[in-house]
Amino acid sequence: MQYRRLGRTDLEVSLICLGSMTWGRQNTEAEGHAQMDLALDRGVNFIDTAEMYSVPVTAETYGRSEEIIGSWLAARGTRDRVIVASKAVGPGSRFGHIRDGRPRLNREHLTRAVEDSLRRLRTDRIDLYQLHWPERSVNSFGKLGYVHVEDEDAIPIAETLGVLGDLVRAGKIRHVGLSNETPWGMMSFARIADQAGLPRPVSVQNAYNLVNRSFEVGCAEVAIREDMGLLAYSPLAGGWLTGKYAGGARPAGARMTEFADYFRRYGGESGQAAIAAYVALAREHGLDPARMALAYVNARRFTTATIVGATTLEQLAANIDSVDLTLGDEVLQGIEAIQARWSNPCP
């Protein structure tokens, strides 16, 4: 396993981070435990979760992924061997089951969110606590173009950081991270933190994969210059870049088989054409398409960790193996040619 420094902290996290959003929905508690056992044995010391998981989100499965991690930590006694990251939801009409149904990134909600996550995780601290998405309206989750909302009632960044600072001083969280953020947001959080002596974000968790390289446009420079490395989620584009859905195939239990409506961003004509081209490129060079896609993300200078999710141990082992693959010049040239033809078709 390879390890990289988390921002400007003293933490070294594994290049592969184990994602947990299927646990409690597509995976049972026992299967989640088995995945964590395998990952830890293979050198993975970084686990990512969120208060809203598992996905797709329902009131019945809210917090279940954290509970599964908590029962594993308690059963295995592994708390000091892993770095645990979780996230607090921002505003959204889909989350009537979370707190009062109108979650915000203010003192009341963040304090309660942290306390609830600590209880579910059965731990006294969260190593990396992330804001799942901004309080303000931004162009994320399938949007490339920014549309400004005038007079938006958003909690100020300084207020949110002030609450997180108190939680750091209380020892409940160690470090702060962002998610689904923009270059403006990343720089604003860093600037305000530096000016006010508040916790500086050490990472940003955004989508990044071969069919969505929009992070490179503005966020990549901030990530490198401000030591706010990318925790890349959806590196396999919801499983599409594995090639398992080629030709209309829908394997039993797979995400697109079970929850196709939840991941529509990959279904467009341009996206499907690009995905087919990447799968063909991998096979042309004798590579597994999934390993090629992950190896590309792993090798980016701005990447701190690549978050992989799996529903089987075989999938997880193969994903972890991607750290051993270095892509050759011909493969990289082929990737750039496809990107030039179909640029970011699945944001």
Backbone angles phi, psi at 105, to 5 degrees: -100, 55
C-alpha–C-alpha distance, residues 208 and 211, integer Å: 8
Q: Give the CA angle between residues 117, 122, 126 to the nearest 5°.
A: 55
Catalytic residue among 53, 129, 233, 266: 53
C-alpha–C-alpha distance, residues 74 and 79, integer Å: 8
C-alpha–C-alpha distance, residues 269 and 246, integer Å: 14
C-alpha–C-alpha distance, residues 278 and 267, integer Å: 15
Residues 230, 206 contacting (CB under 8 angstroms) = yes
Residues 4, 229 contacting (CB under 8 angstroms) = yes
* Residue 76: Cβ-neighbour burial (10 angstroms; 0-12, 13-18, 19+): middle
Render the burial of 205-220: b for 16+ CB within 10 Å, e for the rest: bbbbbbbbbbbbeebb
Catalytic site residue 296? no
Residues 309, 239 contacting (CB under 8 angstroms) = no
- Tokens standing for 101? 């149904």
* SS3 category, 179: strand
C-alpha–C-alpha distance, residues 54 and 35, integer Å: 15
Cβ neighbours for 113, distance < 8 A, ≥ 6 positions apart: 51, 88, 89, 99, 103
**Catalytic center residues:** 53
